[in-house]
Chain A
Amino acid sequence: MHEEIIHTDNTPKEKQNYVMLKLGRTPAYGWPAFKQVAKRAVSGELLVGLWITLKEMVKTLFMGGKHTTMYPFEKMPIAPRYRAIHNMLRLLESGHYRCIGCGLCEKICISNCIAMETRYDENQRKEVSEYTINFGRCIYCGYCAEVCPELAIVHGGRYETASEQRASFSLFDDMLTPIDMLKQQQEFAGFGSVTPNADAAIKKTPLAY
């Protein structure tokens, strides 16, 4: 048994259909080589290539054919199901934050990165007095957004998480929709939704020629 395994025959059993091209002999030195170089240099093939480059350059620069995204001044629209830094949403009518402090996000978090403090407030409501997500630990799994009964915590599109401190994003107020931006607050479209400008974003690949 042992022997057989070592001496397994790996050579192909059928004949390969290789075709040999008749290119003649490549000049290796001397006069024939010089002749080939001179012929190729003056034949205009170079100019054909340069012409295409020139045409594309004009198209790109002056006719709007540019594909470059001018990051960080310009950003690609991000898919709604993309899971980046969380957003805390507000109620549209009252502007009050939606979070009721039920603690389900804290409970479900598999990397144990959510922590919150709650208290009985003056209006006899449960107030979220402190809320934080440790983004050093967060794996952006989305369970917190999925479990939230109030659609209060959702994932946003803010994927740039480079900062002097991770704590820069992690407090409740950092994630909460600014009160003056309430009208612009986007509802979470749900899992599986497509990018809003998906159709427009479809372009021919530049390598189509």
Chain B
Amino acid sequence: MGDMMNDNKITLKIDGKTCQAQEGEYILNVARANGIFIPAICYLTRCSPTLACRICLVEADGKRVYSCNTKAKDGMEVTVSNQEILEERRAIMEVYDVNHPLQCGVCDQSGSCELQNYTLELGVDSQSYTIADTARETANWSSVLHYDPALCIVCERCVTVCKDMMGDNALGTTPRGGSELNKELKDSMPKDAYAMWNKLQKSVIAPSNDTGSTNCSDCGECIAVCPTGALVSRDFEYTSNAWELKRTPATCAHCSSGCQIYYETKPTSISDRSEKIYRVTNEWNYVSLCGAGRFGYDFENRTAVKNEEAFGNAIEAFKAAKAIRFNSVITNEEALMLQTLKEELGVKLINPDAKAFQEFLNSYSAASGKTLWNGDYKEMMKNSDFIISVGSALRHDNPNVRYVFNNIQKMNKGAGLYFHPVGDSLIAGLGKNVACIEHKVNREEAVLYWILDRFANKDKLPAEISEYLASFHTKTAKTISETVMEDVKETVVDDESGESKEVVKKIPKTIQKEIEVDSSALLEAFDAPADFEDLVEKFLAKKESFALVVGEDMYFHPQADNLAKLVALIENTTEFKVSIVPPKTNSLGVALICDLDDDASGYTIGYNEAGDFRLSALGDGDLDMPALNQQEGTLTNMHKKVVPTNAALSYGGYELNDIMNALLLGKRLTIDWTKELPSKKGFQAVEFDSLPNRYTNDGVEHRGYMLESQKTKITVSMPDKMTANDMSGDIAYRCNPQRQFNEFTAKAHQIFEPFALYVSPAKAETLGKKAAFDINGKEFVLDVVIDEKMSGEIVKLPDFKHSSEIYAFFGKNRFKPITLRKV
């Protein structure tokens, strides 16, 4: 359907310049993409127009319209500014400046302020309006958010982004208690300025739950979008001016979304001139960050020095090693080095998360004939209006997938189905057309079979599968009562003329009717609610573009192989665009580059993992390694892109390439490996330094390059039948809290989520404050933390710490029976 939309090109003129656009685009976005400046404060590119600032007023075909919410039409003539509009805009900016504190000198926005910019742009050099000020107190909304209502211009960008993009819906407006506007102004001042002021004077931003604290995922996107210094991070507040910070474009190291970020650095202090990251910023019109990306930046290996003795030991260790255990928080280049070690020295490579993902991808390729899936998240966000998520804890696993899911509900008038054993009230609340189906553990096969049954093109579906699907259906006769309108003839005598007339009246009548109902046993298999079919029918009304997201539960699953085949079949026989979410930062890259092994015995080198000799970017190993904010390289993200990341901080120790050099396998620099990445897997032979990492004004992402999906041989034809793998008793689910992904986020000082058991409020009552359990004879005593958005009996056990034990405990399944003891 995306292809269809591409054809609907239209042409319009903005200030005399001919612009090409897609039908349905807003004038403002067309102008921005064509390098024409229209002032706008409250509009966010991927969110719904708020219409709070009214400054984007333009004249389109002689009529005054707001460019942020008026769709471009073919042949439209747009004038950005005329005398009247300029007066209107100037009046708006004057009103915004009324009572705005003159503390620009200390404000954290430090000149990168849209209020300042537009005040200057529109030449406001005098003030025509006054009103009594209202006392407004500053407040801390959460562990990271600080709000100063005096600086707030109530553009509601924070509210909009929180609702339309992040889905937390944690912010709203609340009455300001300000003075009433002088009614005479209504006639004397420009109309839109008055309307804007009238609204501004009545509201101020506050957490939407009336508690004074946001209780959200602490992503900080509201801070990013704030045009003034009203919303700032509590940690960053008053510590630096924007101009002092050096911006290094990079890629976030925490999850497979691989968002583009800027590390902003300056010297630590007067006495310590080494660089420190003060904050992370993003291109918020085009990419949204989660809390880990924004606040989990200080995970660098600070104290690393070139310790020659340790280096010598490392070389010895590599010569003696039988296996290397690592995780996917590494670059493609490092993965390639490890693969080279395997080829040259014969060591085994062990990486549980990438291994499971690799097996899943291999099964998928064997069934679909290509290495990569056909879905694209950016495309989904733009076009899809029906999305299904299976096997992914949407709130935890990958924030950007959740944003896509949410954005589809809010912007595309979409609908969504969320299949997961753990109930989640946040996902359920993302839109009125969202249904959460809490199925039993390991029932993903039933869900995928249902998708095939419901959506597959029956002609394309293999006969065996059709038969198998048909076997679930039973037709039963059912008596239902139905209300029908019945025509009743009546004789009416007209009062005046005395004539009698026959009139037909409609009278409702309830009748009993016997119908044939088609029920599917598949629905029972995933515990669908009684009205599920009707619900789906309702959701699908007027829907055109379907998306399916499959997550980590599917790779760590007893039937993972079969699920991969089913996913391939869905992709081939339905209209769904399928996306597969890599479990960790660079799992896709590692899965493509490395030839991974199952567990091996013998002398093991651990790279950021447990081992007999430990290489560690966390600073606690036998030899230091650079963290991902200290090294150059590329990452392969879930968008199937190979994106570059840069070193924001200096690093004093040895790198993996130094070890490679000592083993006579290295290259001059780590980034010399970039062009060696395997082209057989879809990588390109390009120099690292030629990879771009930026967005342009039309929202186009110029970052690295797209992986090319390779054709593979189809070796398996049919998915197998469903297998039941039920569990009983207490069940643990391997799932990290919202802002934790790995040891690196745990190291960051602004990420507070503890390593604990996360449970629903109901479950917490049975467990008490602490609970204990054993993993391979080692006792873990963890705090029980209530996750208010969770429901059900399953407990979440994180893997961001103690990962080797946790992965060993769970094995090839993300769910595992667990015996919990009260402490």
Interface residues of A (CB under 8 A from B): 100-104, 106-107, 115-120, 124-127, 130, 132, 149-150
Known: A102-B106, A119-B238. A130 touches B244 (CB 8 A): no
**Cross-interface CB contact of B241 among A107, A119, A127, A132, cutoff 8 Å:** A107
Does B105 belong to the interface (CB within 8 Å)?
A: yes
CB-based contact B270/A116 at 8 Å:
yes
When each residue 233-268 of chain B gets 1 if its CB lies under 8 Å from chain A and 0 otherwise, what string results?
010011111011000000000000000000000010
Contacts of B243 in A (CB 8 A): 103, 107
Interface centre among B238, B240, B269 (most CB of A within 10 A): B238
When each residue 561-587 of chain B gets 1 if its CB lies under 8 Å from chain A and 0 otherwise, what string results?
000000000000000000000000000
CB-based contact A106/B239 at 8 Å:
no
**CA distance in complex: A102, B237 (Å):** 13
Does B374 belong to the interface (CB within 8 Å)?
A: no
**Cross-interface CB contact of A101 among B234, B238, B270, cutoff 8 Å:** B238
Contacts of A149 in B (CB 8 A): 105
**CA distance in complex: A125, B243 (Å):** 20
Contacts of B238 in A (CB 8 A): 101, 118-120, 126-127
**Cross-interface CB contact of A126 among B106, B138, B244, B267, cutoff 8 Å:** B106
Does B110 belong to the interface (CB within 8 Å)?
A: yes
CB-based contact A130/B269 at 8 Å:
yes
From residue A48, how far is it (CB to closest CB) to chain B in Å?
67
**CA distance in complex: A119, B269 (Å):** 12
**CA distance in complex: A183, B105 (Å):** 27
Interface residues of B (CB under 8 A from A): 105-106, 110, 138, 234, 237-241, 243-244, 267, 269-270
Given contacts A102-B241, A119-B239, 11 further A-B contacts (CB under 8 A): A104-B105, A107-B241, A107-B244, A116-B270, A117-B270, A118-B238, A118-B240, A120-B237, A120-B238, A130-B269, A150-B105
**CA distance in complex: A150, B237 (Å):** 21
Query: Interface SS of chain B: helix, strand, loop or mixed?
Result: loop
Contacts of A116 in B (CB 8 A): 270
A-B contacts at CB below 8 angstroms, number:
41
Contacts of B267 in A (CB 8 A): 115
Contacts of A103 in B (CB 8 A): 110, 241, 243-244
CB-based contact B244/A132 at 8 Å:
no
**CA distance in complex: A150, B106 (Å):** 12
**CA distance in complex: A37, B25 (Å):** 112
Contacts of A100 in B (CB 8 A): 105-106
**CA distance in complex: A22, B105 (Å):** 80
Contacts of B106 in A (CB 8 A): 100-102, 125-126
From residue A126, how far is it (CB to closest CB) to chain B in Å?
4
**CA distance in complex: A38, B267 (Å):** 82
**CA distance in complex: A102, B239 (Å):** 10
From residue B106, how far is it (CB to closest CB) to chain A in Å?
4
Contacts of B110 in A (CB 8 A): 103
**CA distance in complex: A102, B238 (Å):** 9
**CA distance in complex: A118, B108 (Å):** 11
Contacts of B234 in A (CB 8 A): 120
**CA distance in complex: A130, B270 (Å):** 7
Contacts of A104 in B (CB 8 A): 105
Can you list 17 pairs linking A and B with CB atoms under 8 Å apart?
A100-B105, A101-B106, A101-B238, A102-B105, A102-B241, A103-B110, A104-B105, A107-B241, A107-B243, A117-B239, A117-B269, A117-B270, A118-B239, A118-B240, A124-B138, A126-B238, A149-B105
**CA distance in complex: A149, B105 (Å):** 8
**CA distance in complex: A110, B238 (Å):** 24
Residue of B nearest to A134 (CB): B270
Contacts of B237 in A (CB 8 A): 120
CB-based contact B244/A106 at 8 Å:
yes
From residue A25, how far is it (CB to closest CB) to chain B in Å?
79
**CA distance in complex: A89, B431 (Å):** 58
**CA distance in complex: A93, B239 (Å):** 27
Contacts of A126 in B (CB 8 A): 106, 238
Contacts of A117 in B (CB 8 A): 239, 269-270
**CA distance in complex: A124, B151 (Å):** 14
The 10 closest A-B pairs by CB, nearest first: A102-B105, A126-B106, A126-B238, A120-B238, A120-B237, A103-B241, A130-B270, A115-B270, A100-B106, A100-B105
From residue A148, how far is it (CB to closest CB) to chain B in Å?
10
**CA distance in complex: A176, B70 (Å):** 58
From residue B749, how far is it (CB to closest CB) to chain A in Å?
15
**CA distance in complex: A130, B267 (Å):** 13
**CA distance in complex: A126, B240 (Å):** 10
Contacts of B138 in A (CB 8 A): 124
Residue of A nearest to B267 (CB): A115
Interface centre among A100, A118, A125, A127 (most CB of B within 10 A): A118
**CA distance in complex: A127, B106 (Å):** 10
**CA distance in complex: A119, B238 (Å):** 5
**CA distance in complex: A149, B240 (Å):** 18
Interface centre among A104, A120, A149 (most CB of B within 10 A): A120
